[in-house]
Structure 1
Amino acid sequence: MSRTREDLVAVALRLLDAHGLADVSMRRVAGELDLQPSALYHHVASKQELLGAVADEVLRRGARPRGAVTWDERVVEVAHELRDAMLAYRDGAELVSTVIAFGLGATQPLEDLTAALGDSGLDESLVPTAARTVLHLVLGHTIEEQTHLQAGSAGAIDADPLPADFGTGLGFVVDGIRARVAEGSTAM
């Protein structure tokens, strides 16, 4: 039976959600597809490329219609969409963060944040830094949140919930960008 790249991604995504990122291996994906691991390399060059495709699929599945109009509303909308997409899958935040750090994919959130911030009036030279700052807040917060939830459900820690402060923290960052725009984005 012929398999496609989409088949590999679907199996890897299922393994991610069922067992976690550490258990997503080429051997395990091949076994689930009843193939030899070498057969996977017809579709992806490496495990890293497969993980990049899985991260892109997590983000694609997490996409939702957007309605925000102003730059700051768009930033908040993109940030919440990214967080929700990563929380939908076990180790989703670790996967997406790793793929972004290695430059293997998951580029859409940064592109969307950059586009939104490009309309903010912020000095053009500061837009990439502002976009990465928002991205890093979302990634870091979501990794901490997801790790805490998983450790609690496994009984490794007391399952007291973390404060629900993502929106507040994001607001602090957006307020800082707004302040920089108001002062002409020249202060360092």
Structure 2
Amino acid sequence: MRYRRDDVVARAVDVLDRYGLADLTMRRLGAELGVQPSALYHHFPSKQALLAAVADEMLARSIWPDGGPWEERATGVCSVLRDSLLAYRDGAEVVATVWSFGLGAAHPYEALVGALTEAGLGELAPVAARTLLHFVYGHAVDEQTHLQAASVGAIDDEPRESSDFETGLGLVMAGIQLAVAVRRA
């Protein structure tokens, strides 16, 4: 049976969520689809290209803020991104790596740059956007790693009862708001 690119990506997201990044191999994905691994290279020239498509698909499944004041949009993008990362096993690692390598997962960055440019940050908008992404990716990787390690008994710690994500995001946003106020003054 021939599969479309979208079918391969959807199955790859499923394999990632069930088995994790370490077990998302072309061989496993081929077996899941009932094709030789080499058939997957018809759609993706490399595993990195597949992971980029997986990251983009994971993000595309979310509803992103597109209106309102810049502060609400920036905070909303960060919150939606975090939720998107935590919705899939190893999702934070996949999306952060794809974005870091410049292979995809660009929507959150572009949305943040748009909101921060509107705020009046000028040439600092890309820096502020990357700072927000570094916070979100780092926090999500920490949360996801801790949860997975605790759930399989790899660490002697219970899964955390709550997250300090919103508080931390508020601190970063307060710094950005201060930078905006200084630029406007």
2:54 alignment counterpart: 54
Separation in structure 2 between the aligned mates of residue 67 and residue 96 of structure 1, nearest angstrom: 21
Please list the CA deviations of residues 76-126 of structure 1 after superposition, one character each: whole Å capped at 9, or x if unmatched: 00000000011110000000011111111100000000001011122x111
1:150 paired to 2:143 = no
Moved more, 173-182 or 156-165: 156-165
Return the offset for 1:31. Answer: 0.9
How far did residue 38 of structure 1 move?
1.0
Distance 1:160 1:13, change over 3 A: closer
Aligned mates of 1:184, 1:107 — CA distance in 2: 27
Whether the 8 Å contact between 1:68 and 1:77 is mirrored in structure 2 is: no
2:72 counterpart of 1:73: yes
Q: Deviations over 1:155-182 (max 9, x none)?
A: 1111141652101111111110111111
Structure 1 gap ranges (5+): none
> 4+ residue runs of structure 1 moved beyond 6 angstroms?
none
Q: TM-score w.r.t. structure 1 length? A: 0.93
Aligned to 1:27: 27
Aligned length: 184
Equivalent residue, structure 2, for 1:100: 99
Greater shift, 136-145 or 35-44, is seen at 35-44
Structure 1 residues 183 and 22: CA distance shift in structure 2, 3 A: same
Give 1:184 deviation, angstroms: 1.6
Task: Please tell me whether the aligned partners of residues 100 and 107 of structure 1 are also in contact (alpha carbons under 8 angstroms).
Answer: yes
Structure 2 SS opposite 1:89: coil
On the 8 A contact 1:145/1:162 being kept in 2, the answer is no
Contact 1:78 1:109 in 2 (8 A): yes
Structure 2 gap segments, 5+ residues each: none
Q: Is the contact made by 2:64 and 2:77 (CA closer than 8 Å) also made in structure 1? A: no
Assess if the C-alpha contact under 8 Å between 2:64 and 2:76 holds in 1.
no
The answer to whether the 8 Å contact 2:119/2:180 transfers is yes
User: Deviation string for 1:13-49 (max 9, x for gaps)?
Assistant: 1110001001001111111111111111111111000
Q: Would the aligned equivalents of 1:58 and 1:85 in 2 still touch at CA under 8 Å?
A: yes
What fraction of aligned residue pairs are identical, expressed as a percent? Answer: 55
Aligned CA RMSD, in angstroms, stands at 1.5
